Structure 1
Amino acid sequence: MEVKKILEAAATGDVAILNEISHLTNAVNLLCSTVDEGANNIIHIAVKNDREIFIGKALQMVPQILLCKKNNKGRNVFHLAAERGHKQIVEALADSFHRAAKVPHTGQEEEVRVEIGSDQPPWIERDLKGVNPLHIAIKGDHQEVAMYLLSLDPLELICDACDEDGGSPLYLAIEKGWEEAALKMLEVKDIPYNQPNYRNPLSVAPYCSEKVFKKLLKEYPTLAKKNNKRQEIFLHEWVDEVENHKPDALKWLSQDDPTLPDWSNVLKRVICHKNNFGNNPLHIAARVGYVEAAELLVGAYSQGQDQGEGEDQPPWLQQNKYGATPLLMALEHRQEAVALCLLKVDPASQCKIASKSKESPLFLAVQNRCVKVAKEMIKSHKRWNVHDVALHTGPNKQNPLHVASNCSDIADVLTRSYPEWAESQDINGNTPLDKAAKAGNMELIKSLMECSGSENAPKAWIKACEGGHTKAILEFISIQYGRSGFLELYEQQTDTPLHHICLKCEKEYDEFFSIPEVETLKDKKDKDGATPLHRAIERKDEYLLKYYYVKDSMCKRLGLNPRIRTSYVQPKTNLGEMRGTMSVVAALLATITFAAGIQVPGGYKNSLEYAALGRKGAFLVFLISDTYAMCCSLLVLFCLIWAMGLDPDKSLLLIDLSVTILQHSLVGTLLAFMTGVFVVVSHETLWAAIVVIFMCSLVPFIAYKKILLKLLQKFIPTAQ
């Protein structure tokens, strides 16, 4: 009989085919050898298609043999039945196996059974991924099938399996919240759940029930100390996954149970346990903002006098690998409620600890706008008697006032409580007033100026100008110096707000220039002799340029057009001298490249009068680069000729463009020289050709403007 016909019968449930086969002498061998491309036998296929009647008939013919055979994925029929969630089929398969176990094997059946090589029940067999039918039933949410499989023997072998992710049936059942199934599996003793490849069932206990949690701890107390790959124990995962847990799960920890010996000390050690990053569970609660967990962990640790074996510090004082305590971590992640909770216990000790980046609790509270925490710290410092220098610290020698611009609500309290901070400078020489001016924080500027004035930050008003904060600028003009005093300050510093101002629109400039003191400064020059207009051109401030061009006659008086953007030529450059110099250079380059194109490297063939090296690749590069350089030089000459007869603005643009083209000509000439030397010399002295190419290749990089200026400043001190 055709194999294809038998397989189709199994899929459709056609029992008539089985009746025909039953009369054959080789019926058992035929049914056992009939498989599809995936090595699925007729029972596999019938189970996939829920053909219960066909399965019953087939099992009467070959009960045990087909139950044990596996497909290419290592799965037998119990795996597939569990995946389908068909309890009646699973029961029928198990009953058939039990009946067959009591009946002596025929010769054909014994031969096939030996070939399979398995004497254990098929419901405990594992596939290629280590998964048994119970795993599949639990993952597929087939609770009835799972409970039936748990009623089969041997239970310890069913529960002992572990998939490739480390999940045991117990772990999966607890994760699903199946209390009955979990308690059934916990009846088995000595399952190695504490082995490295097993995931800790205790870590998912909050998904299930307190009864399962207590049973786990009682039967397997070592699970409380079991680490995962990140060296985290169950409590780390409880706190981190709080959103998916039962709301009262953490309270299970604090309840004494006579069945759990020495649980109080065990819990303290668990609370102090650190993962790979040095974070204990209290760090995790601070990071995720789990206030209830923080309160419970602190309370549970504080109940007794003993701090736990091997721990020198309580968990709220422990630092991770970055030096952060739970309080610092809460402030870093802006978890203000957790921070306030932590400050209720030993606040003096917590406030003295700064991170490895020198961030103190008060600094982080101000920086991350934790106003309530910052005020509580400041209010209670005297009560705690804390005056450690760590309170002042921040990165780069900053103090909390340097970052108070982020937290205006605390600015006034800080300046009144710590007036000495207003005068300190960070590593870059900036005072808190400089930072406040740059941020344009008016409240902080007023507080700082009332506290210490501006003697330690004479250039703070420049920061306000660069940030475009007009109100802050007016604050400096009117309050700090006075209207007349600010003009005197300009005379001393030879600098004005207009040299630095950078506003966002024309309207803001109109309002700014409406101030009489500012209007008088628009023609003033700084120490370098530059007017505000020159500085506006340098930083390409189109709104200020438009004001000068449209609403002021200064551009016309100075002979400037703010609409012109040049890269190399400044507006006040002597164009005649520059044009004459560039024309000489361009003409010289045109002459050199023209001569090189006629007198080609390697010369000509005497008889045929063509280039001797014309087929060389390097020669072709030489020819193209030489032609490019000559054309660029000639184009520069044409631009300079045209520039002589045009108006100043267009002449300026043409000369600026000529500088760019002339640079291309220089590079082309350099490339032509390199390839010309290479094509002539390389076949005799290759090293010399390489040296020439290397030296010439350095020229464009060294000649780059920024690099050249740095080299001048480094090797010629007077160039600074």
Structure 2
Amino acid sequence: MELILIHFPNTVTQKNSSEDTALHVAIQDGRFNAIEKLIRLGTDSEIIYQKNKDSISPLYLATEKCESSGEKLCEGERWKILQLLLQESARDEAYAVKIQGMSPVLAALKKSNKDILKEIIDQLPKLLHVRDENGWTPLHAAAWDGNVEAMEILLSKCPYLALQTDKNGSYPIHIACERKIKAFVVMKVTLVKLHPLSGTIGLLIKETWPDLAEIKNKKGQNILHVAAKAGSDDAVQCILELSSEPVIIEKLVNSKDVDGNTPLHLASMHNHCEVMRSLTKVKGICSEHCNNDGLTALDVAMKSRSLSTENPVLLGRAILIVAGILQSEDRDILSLREQGCGESKSSPAEWIKDRVNTLLLVATLVASVTFTAGVTLPGGYNASSDPHPGTATMLHKGMFQLFVISNMLAMYSSILAVVVLLWGLSRDFYVAELAYHSAGPLLLMALIGMSVAFLAAVTVAVSKLTWLGNLVLSVGVLYLAKVVVVLSALIFPSSKSAMRIVVLYYMAVSKVRRFVKSCVWSFGCIMFIGSVSSYFLCYLLLGKDFLVRF
């Protein structure tokens, strides 16, 4: 190899089909002696900066391979290779200019190796200020990954990295909030390193960044804007906790970006319900703020067409209504008429009559079903030979009595709704509108009564089998609650009480869902561990015979 380099020194820069130089190949194979000769005998000192088709330089590759090897640092060949390349780069005063894009610092961050990161920064400190194509410093990259240890190392070398912005004007803390990293940890690390002699975090915020609302990117968004848009409720809560000054909190929640959107606008726009709940709890929040389009947060939520099952649009609207967030003056709360007319481009009179016809059909069906159920009672009637012929056989059972009462209420409510809705067929628009709104509560009562009657009938039919009766009753009550919530929100859209029920319902469902998921996950882990343990126990007891049988 030495003879080739002596007689043909230019071969050191030749590349293969992957555009790897000889130095790339030697680093991949971990050949320290070959690397040393290539650097010492080669004529091109720029070889350590040459990149392959993946834009990876030998120094970046050495950093990756050093982490991935199984050898202990400071002992293996990989570490010696990295040391050699770092020392060679340090001799060049322009190394920071020549190492662009794929900085070895990024490789160390990617592998989360703090020892290698320290070594690179100690020998090549200028790399702290090398930016990538997005204008990110190493601290931006560490914040994106949520690598707190790396952030501590970077800030110990250069505290003012926390105040550097990228091409979008975003600080590292903006990036952390956008990535849904827990902002408490990130902010604590950032602020503590800027003022190591300060006491509490609140004092650090006051001394370093007196007004958190002034830390904005090019879109005019502060850190609360970014966290709200990303849907990071942990970040939102931590920001509000760290901002102990009521004035600063009020500025944060009411601050507008270049589009006039507050953090609540952005959370409503993306239907981040947990964030909306956290923001609406802040005392200083303004309920009437409009963006550049003249829309309040509730207006924005009204325009949402999200089909998310995790955070339904109805829940987001309910949270805002319960919190007292207003719509703009020329809009009606949950204006179904406005939305329906806008989509179908029909007149209000036609719109209301279509709704009246729909409700009339539903009410008629409910009346028919409840009448049939009342005639064909569960359990039937007593025979003529019975002391009380013609009476219900289950007359004295509690669930049967509940069935009769619920079925009666459902039938009479639906009949009354039909009578009221017949007014809606008149040509008078205001009479039709009155009939539409009056029939809603009656139809709600009818549907709930019919649901309860069905539940009672099925329960009394299987009452002799205890576990099945309890299961039917539990499932029925759960779905009945859902019917009440959805219908209440539909019929009383502007009622805070109805919206409060919606919020409580979805919170309960969310907690139950998480509990079930955790139970299933725990059960799966237990079963897996049990299976593996049983397998090894049988192997220890039976030896190779078990493997043959298995």
Compute the TM-score of the two structures, normalised by the length of structure 1.
0.41
Other-structure match for 1:36: none
Asked if structure 2 preserves the Cα contact closer than 8 Å seen for 1:160 and 1:168, the reply is no
- CA-to-aligned-CA distance 1:286-329 (integer Å, 9 cap, x gap): 222211111122222x135895xxxx973322222322111111
Other-structure match for 2:230: 288
C-alpha change, 1:251 and 1:400, in structure 2 (3 Å) is: same
Question: 1 CA distance for matches of 2:247 and 2:90?
Answer: 39
Q: State the shift of 1:380 in Å.
A: 5.3
For residue 22 of structure 2, what is the amino acid of its counterpart?
Answer: V
How many residues are treated as equivalent by the alignment?
354
C-alpha change, 1:169 and 1:284, in structure 2 (3 Å) is: same
2:19 pairs with 1:77: no
Alignment of 1:11-410 (within 5 A): 58-59=1-2, 62=5, 66=9, 69-72=12-15, 76-82=21-27, 85-87=28-30, 89=31, 91-96=32-37, 116=43, 118=44, 120=45, 122-123=47-48, 131-138=56-63, 143-144=68-69, 147-152=79-84, 153-156=87-90, 160=96, 166-188=101-123, 190-191=125-126, 193-194=128-129, 199-206=136-143, 207=145, 209-242=147-180, 249-250=185-186, 252-253=188-189, 256-257=192-193, 260=196, 264=205, 265-266=207-208, 272-300=214-242, 302-303=243-244, 314-349=251-286, 351-365=287-301, 378-379=321-322, 381=324, 391-393=326-328, 397-403=330-336
Question: 1 CA distance for matches of 2:7 and 2:259?
Answer: 61
- CA-to-aligned-CA distance 1:99-138 (integer Å, 9 cap, x gap): x67xxxxxxxxxxx7xx4x3x3844556698753012334
Asked if structure 2 preserves the Cα contact closer than 8 Å seen for 1:171 and 1:204, the reply is yes
Q: State the shift of 1:361 in Å.
A: 2.5
Question: 1 CA distance for matches of 2:163 and 2:360?
Answer: 57
C-alpha change, 1:326 and 1:94, in structure 2 (3 Å) is: same
Question: 2 CA distance for matches of 1:237 and 1:290?
Answer: 12
Asked if structure 1 preserves the Cα contact closer than 8 Å seen for 2:49 and 2:98, the reply is no
Match of 2:362 among 468, 471, 474: 471
Q: State the shift of 1:335 in Å.
A: 0.7
List gaps (5 residues or longer) in structure 1: 1-57, 102-112, 382-389, 404-429, 440-455, 497-720
Q: State the shift of 1:178 in Å.
A: 1.9
For residue 280 of structure 2, what is the amino acid of its counterpart?
Answer: L
Match of 1:462 among 353, 359, 375: 353
Other-structure match for 1:616: none
Q: State the shift of 1:92 in Å.
A: 1.2
Q: State the shift of 1:271 in Å.
A: 6.8
* Partner-residue secondary structure (3-state), 1:222: helix
For residue 137 of structure 1, what is the amino acid of its counterpart?
Answer: A
Question: 1 CA distance for matches of 2:182 and 2:7?
Answer: 45
Q: State the shift of 1:139 in Å.
A: 5.3
Question: 2 CA distance for matches of 1:336 and 1:483?
Answer: 36
C-alpha change, 1:266 and 1:470, in structure 2 (3 Å) is: farther
CA-based RMSD of the aligned residues comes to: 4.8
Q: State the shift of 1:230 in Å.
A: 2.8
Asked if structure 2 preserves the Cα contact closer than 8 Å seen for 1:130 and 1:162, the reply is no
Q: State the shift of 1:170 in Å.
A: 0.8
Q: Which has the higher contact order (CA 8 A, sep 6+)?
A: 2
C-alpha change, 1:67 and 1:380, in structure 2 (3 Å) is: same
Question: 2 CA distance for matches of 1:366 and 1:64?
Answer: 77
For residue 464 of structure 1, what is the amino acid of its counterpart?
Answer: R
- CA-to-aligned-CA distance 1:74-106 (integer Å, 9 cap, x gap): 753212223xx222x1x11244358x67xxxxx
C-alpha change, 1:151 and 1:189, in structure 2 (3 Å) is: closer
Question: 1 CA distance for matches of 2:24 and 2:285?
Answer: 61
Question: 1 CA distance for matches of 2:51 and 2:149?
Answer: 30
Q: State the shift of 1:469 in Å.
A: 7.6
Q: State the shift of 1:213 in Å.
A: 0.8
For residue 353 of structure 2, what is the amino acid of its counterpart?
Answer: I
* Partner-residue secondary structure (3-state), 1:401: coil
* Partner-residue secondary structure (3-state), 2:278: helix
Q: State the shift of 1:201 in Å.
A: 0.8
Asked if structure 2 preserves the Cα contact closer than 8 Å seen for 1:129 and 1:163, the reply is no
Q: State the shift of 1:188 in Å.
A: 3.6
Q: State the shift of 1:202 in Å.
A: 0.8
Q: State the shift of 1:218 in Å.
A: 3.0
List gaps (5 residues or longer) in structure 2: 70-76, 199-203, 305-311, 366-412, 433-550
- CA-to-aligned-CA distance 1:639-696 (integer Å, 9 cap, x gap): xxxxxxxxxxxxxxxxxxxxxxxxxxxxxxxxxxxxxxxxxxxxxxxxxxxxxxxxxx
Asked if structure 1 preserves the Cα contact closer than 8 Å seen for 2:227 and 2:233, the reply is yes
Question: 1 CA distance for matches of 2:9 and 2:99?
Answer: 24
Larger-gyration structure (1/2): 1
For residue 70 of structure 1, what is the amino acid of its counterpart?
Answer: T
Question: 2 CA distance for matches of 1:366 and 1:296?
Answer: 28
C-alpha change, 1:269 and 1:157, in structure 2 (3 Å) is: farther
Q: State the shift of 1:180 in Å.
A: 1.4
Identity of aligned residues (%): 15
Q: State the shift of 1:65 in Å.
A: 5.8
Asked if structure 2 preserves the Cα contact closer than 8 Å seen for 1:124 and 1:132, the reply is yes
C-alpha change, 1:71 and 1:437, in structure 2 (3 Å) is: closer
C-alpha change, 1:190 and 1:333, in structure 2 (3 Å) is: same
Question: 1 CA distance for matches of 2:358 and 2:333?
Answer: 21
